[in-house]
Structures are given as C-alpha cells and as structure tokens.
Amino acid sequence: MKRPAKNMAKNMANNLTDNLIADLAGDLPPVKRLAHPAKRLAGWMAVALPVSLFLGAVVEQQHVTLAMERIRDPRILLELTAILLTAIAAGYAALCSTQPGRFSKAWALPVAPFVLWLSLIGENCWRLFEQIGADQFSLAPHWTCYPSIAATGFAPALVMVVLLKRGALLTPTMTVALGTLAAAALGAVGLRLYHPPDATAMLMLWQLIATLTFLGLASLVSGYMSKRA
Amino acid sequence: MRQDDEQLWSQWMAQAQDGDGTAYQRLLGAIVPRLRAIVGKRVTDPDRAEDVVQEVLLSIHKNRHTYDPALPFGPWMGTIAQRRTMDWLRKHYRQDGQEVLVDEYPETFLAGGANEVEQDVLAFDDVDRLHQALDRLPPGQRQAVELLKLKEMSLKEASEASGMSVASLKVAMHRALKSLRAEMAEEIEP
C-alpha cells in the first residue's frame, strides 16, 4: 500500500517540476547580461571616488592643494596605496561573489593590502602614543570626525549596493562584508587626504560603522526602487 | 560527453538570455537530472529533494542574467545548486529544532484515507480554509494568487497591475502554491 502512494507522490513532484519549467520558459523576456566584474568595478570607482573626494573636501573645507601636498609625503603615499588596493581588491571580490562560478577564491584578494593598511594604522597609533604619552592618548570616539566619514563614505556605499543588487546574492554575508570593506576603503582615500592626520584604529572603526549604516540605508532604498521598476 | 553537454547548455542559456523560450525549456529539462544528483547528495528524502530542485530552478531563472557565455556553464549552475541546497538545509534544521517528535499523533480523522497524500488537493475545495491560508501568505505571494488565479489575469496584465516583473510573479505564484499546499495539508494532518 505504501509503495503506490510513494510513487504517486514522486510523480506529482516530478509533474510539478515539469510544470514549473514550462511556466518559466513561457513568455520568456530577454535579459541584460551582467558585465564583467572588472568593468563594474571601473564604473564604481569612476562614479564613487570623485563624489567622495568632492564631498570630503567640502565638509572639511579644504582645498585640493592640501591633498596634493599630502600626496608628496612618501608615508601618506604608501598608506593611500594600501587603502586604494584594499578598495580595488575588496570591490572586485565583492562583485565576483555575485556572479556564480567566477573566481571563487576572490575573497582572498583584499587580505594582503588590508593587513598592510591595518599595520600602518597600528604603527601610527604607536607613534602617537609615544609622542603624547599614555595620559593624553584616548580611544574615545571623535564625534567631529563623523560628518567627514559620512561625506566620504556615502557615495562608495550607495553605488556598491546598487551594483551588488544587480548580481546574485548567493553568499550574502561574504558579499556584504567585502562590499563594506571596499566602500570603507574608498571612503578612507578622501578622509586621508583632507582630514587632520589622526587616522587611528578608532577612526577606522567609526568609518566601518558609518559604512554599514549607509549600506543598510542604501539597501532599503535600492530594494524599494527595484520593486517599483 | 559531459563537455559536449556543457557546451550545448552554455549555448542554450545564451539563447535564453536573448529571450528564446524553446532553448530555455530544453536547457532546464536537460539539467534537471544533474540538479537532482547535486541536491540528492545532501538531501536524501526524494520528495524534499524535488522541492529543493524546484527552488534551484527558480534561482537559476531569477539569476540567469549573471551567466557569462564566455565561461563554462557547469560551475555557474553547480554554485547556484549547492548554495540553494545549503540554504534549504539550514532552514530545514532550524525548523526541525523547533519541532517535537511524537510516537503517536494525539488525534486523527476518522476516515481511513484522511492522511493520504491526495487529500491535500481536495482541501483546496474548502473556500473558507483557503481564504484563511491565503491571508497568511506574504503580501507579494498573496497578490500573485489574487491576480493570476482569482481574477484570472494573464501574466502581462498582472505584471502591469501589480508593478511586479513577470519573472517575479512566476516565482511568487510557485512559492504561494507550495505554501498553500503545505498549509492545507497541515490542516488535514494533525
């Protein structure tokens, strides 16, 4: 008695699969293929970086000549290189993660530049600690930094969310983590160029929190917009 | 043989991306055995495995724009199938953790065949229960059922009326029917 019922259930399930295939294939509209991650990354940098730099300069009320002066300092240039490489590698990895079957080990790309960036921040903190002493050294959040973090981080986070939502979110945790790191790093370029040179670990932590906030807000807006589209 | 298959599948998917429904139907039909094999490695219950295969098909449909015809088709399909299977397993274990196993059902219907599989189809005839089950669906799925089944609109009309894409409507409708079937079956089985 059990076997016929089981066979019937199996046939029903198989029929459902066949019906589903027929439904999906009927009235099939053409789709726009997702571009290569490198091309999407280039688009992200081309839109988000200038906006981030512009807003950073406006909020900090600094002129672009200050940025040019800072770039001449080899130490800052090294930091900027590490930050930019982190942004590029994490951005590329995040975009790869939304395209199934493409470079599954891409998540490892940002590890080296991110470690370099963190070690440079650590060294900065240590130098500052030695200069001013334990009494003056504080890890408390600097609220005055938040507008700059918001201004430089907004565009990279918003554009990244739009790009990620176009792909397949099969590994959301990894994709969001890589996207956050990429957006935080790209925002840090403007911050390093215009903000007073106190790039401590706490500043970076606040920047990551701000970027996560933007990603959340941008995700809500983008979700609403894609529903309406 | 497998490489030839994959080349053919890649070609069919490229045609499907351009809107060729016939190539797409051939492709989905051809990959189902491979999907069953991938899913079957982790989900041993054949009924449940078929549910997961259907979820994978929906996911492939929803993400078909992410396939790059310059790349092999197998890893693209395999990644989606594996991720969806893992998602299903996570969800399944979470649900199982909240369920209590009993040796005997506390009560059952008097009629001998009340718990047979085909009874859940008959349960759709109970309009009140169906409306209650409909009310419990997520808004998108409920709207899909109302427009496509109750108001008998075409996919295009329903898409215009709801603002949802045709693909989203198909996915929502499929999920709604599955939820309704499960819910009506639950109401029959104690």
User: What does the pLDDT look like over A15-42, one tens digit per residue?
Assistant: 788 889 998 998 899 999 999 999 999 9
- Select the residue from A1, A3, A6, A17 to test the B interface by mutation, using most B Cβ atoms within 10 A: A17
pLDDT digit string (tens) for B80-94? 999 999 999 988 877
Would you state the pLDDT for residue A228?
43
ipTM: 0.77
Residues in chain A whose Cβ is within 8 Å of chain B: 5, 8-10, 12-14, 16-18, 20-34, 36, 98-102, 104, 167-168, 170-171, 227-229
Give the pLDDT band (50/70/90) at residue A124. confident
Contact of B79 with A174, CB cutoff 8 Å: no
* Chain B residues lying within 8 Å of A228, measured CB to CB: 163
- Distance CA(B29)–CA(B8), nearest Å, equals 13
Residue A226, pLDDT above cutoff 80? no
- Chain B: residue nearest A168 by CA? B63
Higher local confidence (pLDDT), B123 or A181: A181
**A8/B16 Cβ within 8 A:** no
* Distance from the B50 Cα atom to the nearest Cα atom in chain A, whole angstroms: 6
- Distance CA(A70)–CA(A189), nearest Å, equals 12
* Chain B residues lying within 8 Å of A98, measured CB to CB: 66
Would you state the pLDDT for residue A215?
66
Average pLDDT, chain A: 81
- Scan residues 141-170 of B and list those with Cβ closer than 8 Å to A: 155-156, 163-167, 170
Strand (E) or helix (H) holding A162? helix A146-166
Q: What's the gap between Cα B135 and its chain centre?
A: 20
Would you state the pLDDT for residue B75?
94
Would you state the pLDDT for residue A5?
53
Would you state the pLDDT for residue B98?
63
- Distance CA(A28)–CA(B60), nearest Å, equals 13
- Scan residues 80-109 of B and list those with Cβ closer than 8 Å to A: 80, 83-84
Higher local confidence (pLDDT), B101 or A177: A177
Contacts of A228 (CB under 8 A, 6+ apart): B163
Residue A12, pLDDT above cutoff 50? yes
* Chain B residues lying within 8 Å of A16, measured CB to CB: 50, 54
Give the pLDDT band (50/70/90) at residue A168. very high
* Distance from the A210 Cα atom to the nearest Cα atom in chain B, whole angstroms: 29
Would you state the pLDDT for residue B93?
78
Residue A159, pLDDT above cutoff 70? yes
Residue A185, pLDDT above cutoff 70? yes
**B19/A30 Cβ within 8 A:** yes
- Distance CA(A213)–CA(A63), nearest Å, equals 28
Average pLDDT (A209-221) is 66
Would you state the pLDDT for residue B190?
46
Alpha-carbon distance values, A55 to A25, A64, A199, B98, B101 (Å): 47, 12, 19, 50, 60
Question: Pick from B61, B64, B66: which is nearest to A99 by CB?
Answer: B66
Give the pLDDT band (50/70/90) at residue A196. low
- Distance CA(A182)–CA(A85), nearest Å, equals 9
Would you state the pLDDT for residue A220?
66
Alpha-carbon distance values, A1 to A4, A206, B44, B147 (Å): 6, 65, 22, 40
Chunked into runs of 10 residues, chain B (190 residues) has average pLDDT values of 80 96 95 95 88 93 95 94 92 68 54 50 63 82 83 80 79 81 63
* Distance from the B129 Cα atom to the nearest Cα atom in chain A, whole angstroms: 23
Average pLDDT (A74-84) is 90
